[in-house]
Structure 1
Amino acid sequence: MALNKLELLRIFCSAAELGNFKACAVKLALSPQAVTRAVQQLEQLTGEVLFHRNTRQVRLTQFGSQLYQDGRLQLAQLDALFSPRLATQDAQGLVRLAAPAALRPILSPLLLEFAALHPQIRLDVRLSDQHSDVVDEQIDLGIRAGLLRDQSFVALQVSEVALYLVASPAYLAAHGTPSDLAALNNHQQVSLLDEGTGRPWAWFFRDGEIYQPRQVRLLVNDAQQELAAVAAGLGIGQIADFLAQPLLERGELVRLLPAQEPTPWPLSLYRPQRGPVPARVRLLFDFLRDRLRG
């Protein structure tokens, strides 16, 4: 079997280090003849004699000695380049994270905590309520609510997100409380923009029923702005539980038609690619997994 130049160099450096072809053969699990042929082939490639050889010993030539010094350094650098970076204390570099913009209130303090714990890791955070193109944007980790349809993702469910239909007490006092989904057509609505279609995001309800907002008084592309508009009395909206809950507890929002709420959506932490996970990515994955659970 023909050996490539890297394999020839490894055999030569091992033979030079041990000063004995037979010992080199034992170390590399080769035959002595294979070591001899490798050295001869490398000599043909370089056009130089690498060893002075006789029946008792082998000794590097001047050129062979220089090639050994240079080759040993290059092989060490190559081995370091491809060795797994498993030591978390040495983790460094860039991690790109994609997540829904609605998670900003939860993620912001967590990412600041992570950055303080790991000053050698740089974060590139993409917050958007549109699904990121994980290939074009070179995303390392992502967070997504709902089903992940891409089977190539490595995903772990960390929590659930419920969707609440809510309105402010002032709005309900002025316009009444809807008794069923059909009554929503008679009410003003606040909705989040689906930038992919240019239309409002649909609202989801029990048993897979979907409602398309019709009387949209305010259409926004930011979940925080959507929440603020509903709380200000501009209309009814469907809001994620983690955003709505503080305002519900303070009495600034009222939960409507709870019997019609959909099954909570899974909140998943995912990696777009299978295969080895760099230490910096694993650190952020494990950190977010532990913090977001529940």
Structure 2
Amino acid sequence: MFCCAAQARNFRDAAQQLAVSPQVVTRVVRELEDTLGEPLFHRSTRGVRLTAFGAQLVERARSALAGVEALFPVRGQPGQVNETTSGLVRVTAPRFLGRAPLMATLAPLLAAHPGLVLDLRLSEVRADVVDQQIDIGVRIGPMRDSGFVARAVAQVHFHVVATPTLVARVGAPQTIAELLDQRPCTAMIDLNNGRPWNWLFRGSRQQAPAVPAFVTDDPEAEQAAVLAGIGFGQLPDFLAQPALREGRLVSVLDAEAPKPWPVHVYRARQSPVPARVRLVFEALVQGLAKLPSSSA
């Protein structure tokens, strides 16, 4: 009110701009003068004029107001970065998903929104959304937490695969036991417990290779080991399909394949949801829906 009154010819004009009564402006200015212990205006029948102290104060006040207004930018002004999509968004996703599908979605988003900053953490360790201040997560498998807004965007099929050369050398297994007990296999370490992940089979059966020929905690390293002919591996669509189409890998025991697992994009239930978080969330939903699959 003080800044508006300082710019107006009189308190009545200031009151009209502020949609209040002149008495309110007069009272507020008087209270400010009492608080500061200095007169801010010279008053006369022709109007008001700032005192020397008031002129110094109004410059400082305008700078302070400009800083406050910067916290609440006007949206949609031409030629300006849209501040509502600026800022940091923290995303967690499993390395098992692979870097390529994520970056194919996120890189164009960053190019289109220069003020957006993404902090992407890839790990199979389950993230504590609150402690790690995670905005958005990607999970393969069922969502058991009711505290999230989750969207199922795709399904992941799993294939037991090997190189044609390895299959020709050791033979294609005819049973799960023959595969896991008598053939060289790869294994992925579950970083949540330090043990190898179980392989998934039809009827919810789960079992790990007896004596794996190659062990790693990196999904792309396991993919490379399978492509190098070190052993049979169970890989998801997005890691197996390109090599299957090219004939560099073949699948075995297809009749024992498990039901596909869902891919979820999720965020914490909070309100309001920042526009930048909604933007990244929807982009991941649309982008990960295009994951390679067995039906592709």
Change in CA separation of 1:120 and 1:32 when aligned onto 2, cut-off 3 Å: closer
| Structure 1 unaligned blocks of 5 or more | 1-10
Change in CA separation of 1:28 and 1:200 when aligned onto 2, cut-off 3 Å: same
Residue identity opposite 1:79 in structure 2: E
1:149-160 map, 5 Å: 149-160=144-155
Residue 277 (structure 1) aligned to one of 274, 278, 285:
274
User: TM-score, structure 2 length as denominator?
Assistant: 0.77
TM-superposition CA deviations, 1:224-273 (whole Å, max 9, x none): 11122223333332211111112222333232333333332222334446
Compare 191-200 and 81-90 and name the one that shifted more: 81-90
Residue 47 (structure 1) aligned to one of 37, 41, 58:
37
Instruction: Give the corresponding residue for 2:94.
Output: 100
Residue identity opposite 1:72 in structure 2: R
TM-superposition CA deviations, 1:162-189 (whole Å, max 9, x none): 2222233344344444444444442333
User: In percent, how many aligned pairs have the same letter?
Assistant: 45
Q: Contact 1:86–1:278 (CA<8 Å) still a contact in 2? A: no
Instruction: Give the corresponding residue for 1:65.
Output: 55
Residue identity opposite 1:277 in structure 2: P
**How many pairs align?**
283
1:206-285 map, 5 Å: 206-272=202-268, 274=270, 275-279=272-276, 281=277, 283-285=279-281
Q: Distance in 1 between matches of 2:71 and 2:226?
A: 54
Q: Contact 2:190–2:197 (CA<8 Å) still a contact in 1? A: yes
Instruction: Give the corresponding residue for 2:293.
Output: none
| Structure 2 unaligned blocks of 5 or more | 291-296
Q: Offset of 1:285 from its aligned partner? A: 4.2
Q: Contact 1:200–1:212 (CA<8 Å) still a contact in 2? A: yes
Change in CA separation of 1:25 and 1:112 when aligned onto 2, cut-off 3 Å: closer
Q: Distance in 1 between matches of 2:52 and 2:124?
A: 66
Residue identity opposite 2:255 in structure 1: A
Q: Offset of 1:55 from its aligned partner? A: 6.1
SS in structure 1 at match of 2:258:
coil
Instruction: Give the corresponding residue for 1:90.
Output: 81
